[in-house]
Structure 1
Amino acid sequence: MTAIPEDQEKNYEIFLDCLSTALIEKISQPQAKPKRRTKPKSKKPTSTPPQTKSANPDPETEADTDLTSADDLADFAGYIATTTFHSLPSDLKTLDYYLWTRSPSLQTTYTLPFTGTSIPPLPTLDPAIADSLSTYSITREPTQGINEFLAPILTHYLSLITKPPPAPRATLKEATGCEICERNYIPLSYHHLIPRFVHSKAVKRGWHKEEDLQNVAWLCGACHRFVHRFAGHEELARRYYTVELLMEDEGVRRWAEWVGRLRWKGR
């Protein structure tokens, strides 16, 4: 199986999660079994040979049993996801929120929600995928073929990869304290690790990808002001665009050690 290119790995992981969730939901649904026809009781007792396992078991029964194993299900989901992802149109493999908002043509081409008749064409999809899904009773022709199975998966996938990034305020709950001095008892504010004043330049000159522009660090007021005194906008964008890079500087570490000893004075 061809490896997933690095620039597509993030989208592939999202697609794998969407497809795995759909598989789990399908497999966990109880399947209705046809009622057996009962034969009238014979007056004469008859002896029947003990039943033995068929040399050619029913593939649907065997498949359902096999996929109850977590490892088997993971392998099956990985196979289906990887093969299907390779067959997607190239723009869906690398699409993100920023490309989506700048491309009205893509928004017209990929109108959500997808249906079995409106999903993107997958001419290179291996026919073995449809056979595998049918064998494991994931799809049931003629009511649901592979297109009907993939439609909600692709709808969910596209909605996730084109979702706007969270506002910095939404990430505050993840902060346990100032990311420089580590004080956790004072108010925090967000610091754009790539200053907004140089966002256009950072993308145009290839310093950063557009999806990285909203990366923030949560800092106390003292550390926030210190960072902007420590380096200018361009230097922050080019050399100190993560907290780890900031903390590699000896001057920043000395500041963090000093300010970390400060405490609010009682009133």
Structure 2
Amino acid sequence: MSEENDKIFQDCFSSAVLERYSTAPRKRMAKRSRKSAPAPTSSTQTGSENTETDPAELAEFIEYLSTEIFSALPSEARTLSYSALQHNPSLAETYSDPLTLSTREALIQSLPFSVADTLTAYTLISPPKTDLLTFLSPVLTSYITTVTNPPPAWHTTRPTACEICGRDWIPLSYHHLIPKAVHAKVLKRGWHEEHMLNKVAWLCRACHSFVHRMASNEELAREWHDIERILEREDVQRWSAWVGSVRWKKR
């Protein structure tokens, strides 16, 4: 379970990093020693700055830092599962959603100082406005929610790869094509029939986050309720081409 959880954590961490590097320009950074994290870089063009970070260097950076963080988490956090929570009420209380501040602080208290230094050097955090806990809290929440969720009811529809970027070696999550938050409104206004509400697409976490950034829940329900329609968007096609090239090594 720990190896599988490691992959899930890396996916959750990569989603946070990819979101930052896909929306903000980065200047080229000097290489560090072999013992430190590789520097993700971006190229520049005359008169403008290219915001697309080099995929190979970004993948190496994600793999290095997510491994450093995951290996420093408490053992019980590295081996969490739905089954573990069912058989251990204490664990279930500690890792219930939402995670308490004390739980989140306990999860990162053993992280090496190099993690915060690296995230600061690469402008992923900017103390004191954005500190280590602020950056990692959604990553930890996403990771724990994923590993402790019961098996999805739509497991029979699961493909072998993300339906947007096509990456087939990272964990997938199911995206409600008609978001659950607006189901009542959808039925009240007659946008879709009830049997349509549980349609899902299987996406990697990075693509799942991108879809929710590209449109509101109402817009997703009314306009983007089919994966085929989503794939026709130019911004999705650009995102897919870029994120699909971010490939870290398989363990």
TM-score (norm 1): 0.47
Structure with more relative contact order (C-alpha pairs < 8 Å, separation 6 or more): 2
TM-score, normalised relative to structure 2: 0.49
Rg comparison, structure with higher value = 1
